[in-house]
């Protein structure tokens, strides 16, 4: 529930962030006039050291103190030196997985309470090897009778993290409500729905049993793929606040010196990360939504991507996957009309806007990107242009795509850090084109038809229920009116239901005819 405490927490967070220079890293020169003015006013309370040096080295500590939600925000910024500047990105990189661990004396009690007698099978538990905003990871040995011991990773939630997260979330809800009240133009961005989406994803992240299930599902999706590796769940050592997986050993992808020393091809690694993400999002509709550098490693022998920490996962429906594929393919082939039309189809842009005008706006963004490497593209300018376009065309936020948008920012940032010369469109084209060819081919058509038939069957199956409900309503009507049955009304309702049944049958017949 939002109360005065939530608003106080929100204003406190705003004050802390302003004092430590958080707003100085935004590309103010590319933003609309009102946002520029707001940033200038907020920056009046910055520490003198920030104004003199331009450094925001205290921001890292400030985000840690504010809570896990703010740390997640900082992690995203840390991957985008093109937006916040290389110095700010370097300062924020400490948020990835080098936070102070909780007291190791608490570990045995946490494991015993969560796993019961199974906790005794975990031995040789190391000090924390990684500590992030939500949880920390220990290396251990798993000894099960009849099975050779194996090295595992044991992840444990931080004590009290749920309470801190819920307090953060209530403050964000309060901020969304204030934005809708005092900045009516922000309503098109649906701030409350965006916070709700993030709230839902974080609640899932706070139950490690769901993370175990996510690893299991992704393992099934990628079992025939190459170049992308994930750990295996040890289900007997899983609880709400404990997750045990096989140990994966690799080189942190942010350690460029170690990658080069091991002979890992950084350009190939960047391509594998970007293509792996797109393949999971577009082909499977289920993707790792927290691919910051602290969660990614490289196999020193094969150069494959090793991913960990599946607490935040994204899911896309077939409609949203087609939207993403068409948007990327439209930019790759410079078919800006396709990009514009898909924004209208999915509801990003209101129907009363002009498709032609929006196509022109998309072209103004896409054309400067072609033929450029990642190093030549200023994402600050691109974001500034997008701000202007979203306001001009009254674009609506799609809450279900928030995680996808955030993840694409992360993945692109990670890939370009590995390979500054990365051509994003060239790397994306094989994955996008392959999926579109499949969708437009016989297999895709048959799957579409099967989906339509299933939905039609479900609708037909509801007809008897609708008739029964109509008869019940008629019976209640007779009782209330205390008069003979209303035969004309009953006939009319049955006629409507009969017509609906005929329409459903004709629709199914038309779909079958179209498929041949």
Catalytic residues: 290
Burial class (CB in 10 A: 0-12, 13-18, 19+), 71: buried
Q: Which residues contact 123 (CB under 8 A, 6 or more apart)?
A: 140, 141, 143
Can you tell me the distance from the alpha carbon of 111 to that of 158, in angstroms, rounded to the nearest whole number?
12
140 three-state secondary structure: strand
Please give the DSSP secondary-structure letter assigned to residue 147: S
98 three-state secondary structure: strand
Can you tell me the distance from the alpha carbon of 244 to that of 155, in angstroms, rounded to the nearest whole number?
6
Q: Which helix (H) or strand (E) holds 244?
A: strand 242-246
Secondary structure (DSSP) of 286-328: EEES---GGGEEE-TTT--EEE---SSEEE--HHHHHHHHHHH
Q: What does the longest C-alpha to C-alpha distance in the chain come to? A: 91
Q: How far is CA 129 from CA 124, 126, 137, in A?
A: 13, 8, 6
For the beta carbon of residue 197, count every other beta carbon within 10 angstroms.
19
Can you tell me the distance from the alpha carbon of 249 to that of 234, in angstroms, rounded to the nearest whole number?
17
Can you tell me the distance from the alpha carbon of 15 to that of 20, in angstroms, rounded to the nearest whole number?
9
3-state helix, strand, coil in the chain (%, to 5): 65, 10, 25
Q: Which helix (H) or strand (E) holds 246?
A: strand 242-246
Can you tell me the distance from the alpha carbon of 272 to that of 418, in angstroms, rounded to the nearest whole number?
11
């Amino acid at each position: 529930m939002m109360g005065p405490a939530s608003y106080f927490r929100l204003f406190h967070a705003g004050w802390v962030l302003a004092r430590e220079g958080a707003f100085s890293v935004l590309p103010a020169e590319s933003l609309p006039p009102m946002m520029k003015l707001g940033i200038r006013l907020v920056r009046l309370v910055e520490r003198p050291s920030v104004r003199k040096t331009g450094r925001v080295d205290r921001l890292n500590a400030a985000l840690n103190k504010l809570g896990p939600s703010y740390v997640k925000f900082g992690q995203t910024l840390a991957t985008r030196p093109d937006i916040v500047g290389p110095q700010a990105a370097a300062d924020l990189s400490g948020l990835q997985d080098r936070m102070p661990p909780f007291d190791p004396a608490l570990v045995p009690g946490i494991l015993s309470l969560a796993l019961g007698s199974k906790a005794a099978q975990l031995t040789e538990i190391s000090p924390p090897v990684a500590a992030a905003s939500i949880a920390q990871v220990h290396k251990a040995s798993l000894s099960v009778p009849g099975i050779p011991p194996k090295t595992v990773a044991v992840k444990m939630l931080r004590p009290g993290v749920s309470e801190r997260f819920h307090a953060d979330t209530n403050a964000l809800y309060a901020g969304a409500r204030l934005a809708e009240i005092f900045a009516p133009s922000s309503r098109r961005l649906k701030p409350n729905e965006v916070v709700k989406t993030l709230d839902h994803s974080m609640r899932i992240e706070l139950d490690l049993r769901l993370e175990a299930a996510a690893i299991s599902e992704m393992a099934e999706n990628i079992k025939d793929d190459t170049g992308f590796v994930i750990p295996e769940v040890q289900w007997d050592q899983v609880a709400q606040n404990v997750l045990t997986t096989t140990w994966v050993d690799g080189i942190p992808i942010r350690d460029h010196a170690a990658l080069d020393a091991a002979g890992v091809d950084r350009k190939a690694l960047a391509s594998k990360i970007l293509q792996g993400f797109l393949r999971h999002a577009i082909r499977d509709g289920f993707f790792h939504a927290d691919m910051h550098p602290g969660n990614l490693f490289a196999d020193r022998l094969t150069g494959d991507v090793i991913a960990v920490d599946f607490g935040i996962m994204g899911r896309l429906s077939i409609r949203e996957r087609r939207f993403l594929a068409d948007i990327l393919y439209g930019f790759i082939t410079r078919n800006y009309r396709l990009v514009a039309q898909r924004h209208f189809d999915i509801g990003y842009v209101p129907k009363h806007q002009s498709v032609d005008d929006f196509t022109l706006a998309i072209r103004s963004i896409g054309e400067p990107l072609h033929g450029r490497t990642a190093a030549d593209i200023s994402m600050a300018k691109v974001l500034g242009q997008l701000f202007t376009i979203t306001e001009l065309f009254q674009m609506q936020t799609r809450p279900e795509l928030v995680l996808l948008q955030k993840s694409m920012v992360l993945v692109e940032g990670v890939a370009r850090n590995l390979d500054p010369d990365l051509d994003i469109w060239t790397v994306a084209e094989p994955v996008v084109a392959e999926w579109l060819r499949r969708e437009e081919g016989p297999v895709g058509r048959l799957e579409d038809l099967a989906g339509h038939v299933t939905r039609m069957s479900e609708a037909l199956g509801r007809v008897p229920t609708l008739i029964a409900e109509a008869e019940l309503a008629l019976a209640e009507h007779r009782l209330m009116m205390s008069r003979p049955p209303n035969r004309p009304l009953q006939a009319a309702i049955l006629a409507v239901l009969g017509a609906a049944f005929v329409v459903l049958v004709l629709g199914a017949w038309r779909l079958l005819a179209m498929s041949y």
